[in-house]
Every structure is written in C-alpha cells, then in structure tokens.
C-alpha cells in the first residue's frame, strides 16, 4: 500500500481523513506543527483502527514552511512517499482580515515549500484542501466548478492562489497528479464520538458554537442576520459530514493514482442547503437541549447562500455523500457530549 504524507493530519478534517486512509490500508507520515491540531486526536485515531504497528502512523512535529521539517517527513519511512494529502493551513476568515501576511505565509508560502520538497523527492501526486470560499458571492446556485473564482476575503485569496500555482505546475511539467478539492461546510464528527472538531479558543463556525451552547460552554448562539433573501431569513450553507468528506479524499487519491497525470478541480458538498435556523432546530431535536439564541446583525464577509453542484465529483470520483443533517447534528453532539472540553479532557 502506498506511503502517504498527510500535512495537517492532527486537525479536524485531517484526523478524520487519517482514519479513512488507515482503514483503507495506507501507511501514513503526519507533518503537523500542532498550531490548531492535537496529538491526542491522532492517538485516538490509532486506537480506533486498533493500530499496534507504529510504522503505519509516524508523527513529525514540524512546519510546512521549514525545509528541514519537510526533509524529516519525506525520509521518515524507508518507503518513498507516493502522494501528499495537504490539509495544513490557516482557515479563519475573520483572522485573515486582521493578519493577511500570516495567511499568505502559511497557506501560500507553506504550499510552495511543500511542492518544492515534493519535486526534490520525486513525488508528484497531491490532494489539496481548497474551499468554496473562493467563489465569493456566487452568481448562481448551485455552484459548479465553472463559476467565477472571485474570493472576498484574504483567506479565500490564498486558496485561489494555491489553486493557480497548482494548475501552472500541472501545465509546465509532466507527471503531476493533482486534485484540488473545494470543500463546502465540513461539520460533524466520527460516529464513535472519539474524534471530532476541537477549535482553539472561542469558536467562530456555526456547528462548534451550537454544540458548545448545547453543552453549556457558551451562553447563547448569535444568529448573524435574519434579513437575508432566504425562506426563513437566515443564511443557507451546504453542510457536509466530515466522514463523507474524508471518503472523498480517498476516492480522489484512488482516481489520481489510477488515471494518467491530470489536475482535477472538484466541489465537495451534498448539493443540499440548510439554513442557520434549520441547523439550530435540528440540533435542539437531536440533543434534546434548549439552545438559546439572539438575532444579531450580519457578520462582515458573509454571503446569503452557498450550495454545491457536486455532480462532477460524483461522476469523476464515483463518490457520493451518504450522511444528512440529522447525522451531522447527532455525531457533532455525541462528540461534544463525550468530550465537553474537547481533547483537553485526557
């Protein structure tokens, strides 16, 4: 089975994807600086797989911007790295407005250093974490991959720039196998409740906020805007279960390794939109907790509605999401209930 390098494997999507890749038989080297990830998450991933062979999961603490750390990661195993799954990056939209240099440094310079290391180790297969944020304010819903790339925040600009770099690379050199996966809104947790989303500090995203209100860590949910032009006035998003998303990475890697060199650019979403108030109601039902909320003004940088047209991913990858909003709420709540303080608990 191929040896993979997973950057950012200790984070939310990375840890769930590591579980899927290990279950599929891959051997992994993880490179993570733990700035927003946890070693405990990977310990739990190993437990879930029943892993006793440390050679199947090697952890390197290091930074994708640091050549020595990259060298350590590429030489950690006696097998060559066949492909890289590149999750490492910064993702908070509001922080990206406050500190754009940091975002360009980690997301773009970090990706460039990684690609340079890949070339020097003759590894030309990469799956990259892109984001629906690159579409900005979409002209048409659902959004397909031909929609204009016109980000409205620095975070989105860095993701669009990495996509540009990847496509220039694919055109300039033979042999690159690239998948850029544009995630919509990844949420939920593994159904065991053993791994899940554990943001540092106060959460910004809807699901972690709702979960933390339900468990009593936050007093109330602030609903940012009930004056959008949507049926109930709250904004609509395409929430995708993190386990479905992880399976999407596995499918993308299989296609890249099987087919001739190419660059795939694909939306990963469910194709169904749910409003903020719908999420709130579903979460209350599942958790049987009252979730107090206040309607607030719109949050700067938000858009009314994003829903994916995922037809292309379904056709190219033979992949389809299986889990719905109920599963997302149930699993997010199960994780939060079992780990009220996230990974700090143990």
Active site residue 183: no
Contacting residue, 28, 206, 253, 332, with ligand UD1 by CB under 6 A: 206
Selected binder of ligand NAD within 23, 24, 35, 79 (CB under 6 A): 35
Alpha helices in the chain (DSSP H): 12-23, 39-49, 67-74, 93-98, 100-103, 110-120, 154-172, 206-214, 242-258, 276-287, 311-317, 325-338
Q: Terminus-to-terminus CA distance in the chain, angstroms?
A: 32
Pick from 87, 228, 239, 283: which binds ligand NAD (CB under 6 A)? 87
Site pattern 143..162 for ligand NAD (x: CB under 6 A)? --------------------
Question: Total residues at the site for ligand UD1 (CB under 6 A)?
Answer: 23
Largest Cα–Cα distance of the chain, in whole Å?
57
Which residues are paired to 83 by β-bridges?
4
Please tell me what DSSP assigns to residue 308: B
Q: How many of the chain's residues bind ligand NAD (CB under 6 A)?
A: 28
DSSP per position, 99-132: -HHHHIIIIIIHHHHHHHHHHHTT--EEEEEEEG
Of 103, 121, 135, 155, the catalytic one is 155
The option from ligand UD1, ligand NAD, none interacting with 188 (CB < 5 to 8 A, set by class) reads none
User: Burial of 290 by CB count in 10 Å (0-12 exposed, 13-18 middle, 19+ buried)?
Assistant: exposed
Phi first, then psi, for residue 170 (nearest 5°) are: -60, -35
Residue 272 lies near ligand UD1 (rule: CB under 6 A): no
Task: Please say which residue, 62 or 203, places its beta carbon nearer to ligand UD1.
Answer: 203
**Among residues 179, 276, 286, 313, which is the contact residue for ligand UD1, using CB under 6 A?**
276
Least distance in Å: CB of 230 to ligand UD1?
A: 10
* Contact residue for ligand NAD among 3, 4, 6, 12 (CB under 6 A): 12
Q: How far is the CB of 264 from ligand UD1 (least distance, A)?
A: 19
Active site residues: 155
């Amino acid at each position: 089975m191929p040896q993979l390098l997973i950057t950012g494997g200790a984070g939310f999507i990375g840890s769930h994807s590591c579980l899927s890749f290990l279950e599929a038989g891959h051997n992994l080297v993880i490179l993570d600086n733990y700035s927003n990830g946890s070693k405990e998450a990977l310990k739990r991933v190993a437990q879930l797989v029943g892993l006793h062979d440390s050679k199947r999961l090697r952890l390197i603490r290091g930074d994708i911007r640091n050549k020595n750390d990259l060298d350590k990661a590429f030489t950690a195993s006696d097998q060559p790295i066949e492909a890289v799954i590149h999750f490492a990056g910064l993702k908070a939209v509001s922080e990206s407005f406050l500190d754009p240099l940091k975002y360009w440094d980690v997301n773009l310079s970090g990706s460039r250093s990684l690609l340079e290391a890949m070339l020097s180790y003759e590894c030309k297969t990469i799956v990259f974490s892109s984001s629906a944020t690159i579409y900005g304010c979409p002209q048409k819903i659902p959004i397909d991959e031909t929609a204009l790339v016109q980000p409205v925040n620095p975070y989105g600009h860095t993701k669009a720039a990495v996509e540009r770099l990847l496509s220039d690379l694919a055109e300039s050199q033979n042999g690159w196998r690239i998948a850029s996966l544009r995630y919509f809104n990844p949420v939920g947790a593994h159904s065991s409740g053993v791994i899940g989303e554990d943001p540092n500090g106060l959460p910004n995203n809807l699901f972690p906020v709702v979960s933390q209100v339900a468990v009593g860590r936050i007093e109330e949910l602030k609903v940012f805007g009930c004056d959008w032009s949507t049926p109930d006035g709250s904004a609509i998003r395409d929430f995708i279960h993190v386990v479905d998303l992880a399976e999407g990475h596995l499918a993308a890697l299989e296609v890249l390794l099987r087919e001739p060199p190419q660059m795939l650019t694909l939306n990963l979403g469910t194709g169904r939109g749910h409003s903020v108030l719908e999420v709130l109601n579903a979460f209350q039902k599942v958790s049987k907790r009252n979730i107090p909320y206040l309607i607030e003004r719109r949050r700067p940088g938000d858009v009314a509605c994003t829903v994916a047209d995922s037809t292309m991913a379904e056709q190219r990858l033979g992949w389809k999401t299986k889990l719905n909003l109920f599963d997302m709420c149930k699993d997010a709540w199960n994780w939060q209930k079992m780990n009220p303080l996230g990974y700090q608990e143990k």
